[in-house]
């Protein structure tokens, strides 16, 4: 794995929808508070708002559909990221499992943010409001936002950072979801800042 510590992070983004965390990262870069370069935005959805704002920001943005031919999409995604000089992939609400070509080429260099405690509230189908419903049903005193490395299983890779989110009496899934969503972008930026500064080391790829 190429060393990404203490150097400008060359970032690629994956988003299926708004890509709100990715937008916060780009805004931090533009503001000069994060030493990184946004190289590429990819979505599996042609109408994803993330593609539109990335284009407006002058970032290369492409749609790589995955349903018709997942294997070809996997290879193209890996090739596009490499062609744009991407060294670290940031998943921002990307709702497709990555394939072997991307996982192999970017082993240890793909990070995701999950809106609940892991491993208890992760796995296939555990995204969005479903996570918050499950957390509240479990009666926990607090939830968590977890940033982790991505592997071949949903929400399974090694944890990089975690932030607690309080649960208030009478919270509904909608209320908890709003609180988590509000905290996610800044937490993602903070974690990337720690990686760029060398304060948070990524493990060497196997």
Residues labelled as active-site residues: 114
**Distance of alpha carbon 143 from alpha carbon 177, whole angstroms:** 10
The number of beta carbons lying within 10 Å of the beta carbon of residue 158 is 11
Max Cα distance, the chain (Å): 50
Other beta carbons within 10 angstroms of residue 202's beta carbon come to 17
Of the candidates 100, 85, 122, the one whose C-alpha atom is nearest the C-alpha of residue 4 is 85
How far is Cα 48 from Cα 61, in angstroms, rounded to an integer? Answer: 11
User: CA 194: distance to chain centroid?
Assistant: 16
**Spatial distance between the Cα atoms of 77 and 61, rounded to a whole number of angstroms:** 12
């Amino acid at each position: 794995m190429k060393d990404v510590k203490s150097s400008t992070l060359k970032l690629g983004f994956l988003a299926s929808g708004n890509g709100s965390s990715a937008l916060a990262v780009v805004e931090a870069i533009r503001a000069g508070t994060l030493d990184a370069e946004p190289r590429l935005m990819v979505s599996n959805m042609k109408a994803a708002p993330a593609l539109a704002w990335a284009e407006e920001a002058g970032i290369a943005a492409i749609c790589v559909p995955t349903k018709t031919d997942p294997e070809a999409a996997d290879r193209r995604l890996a090739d596009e990221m490499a062609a744009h000089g991407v060294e670290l992939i940031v998943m921002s609400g990307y709702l497709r499992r990555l394939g072997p070509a991307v996982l192999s080429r970017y082993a240890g260099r793909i990070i995701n943010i999950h809106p609940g405690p892991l491993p208890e509230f992760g796995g296939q189908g555990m995204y969005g409001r479903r996570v918050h419903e499950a957390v509240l049903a479990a009666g926990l005193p607090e939830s968590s936002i977890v940033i982790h490395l991505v592997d071949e299983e949903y929400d399974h890779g090694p944890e990089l950072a975690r932030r607690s989110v309080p649960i208030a009496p009478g919270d509904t899934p909608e209320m908890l979801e709003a609180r988590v969503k509000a905290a996610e972008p800044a937490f993602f930026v903070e974690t990337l800042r720690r990686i760029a500064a060398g304060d948070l080391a990524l493990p060497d790829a196997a």
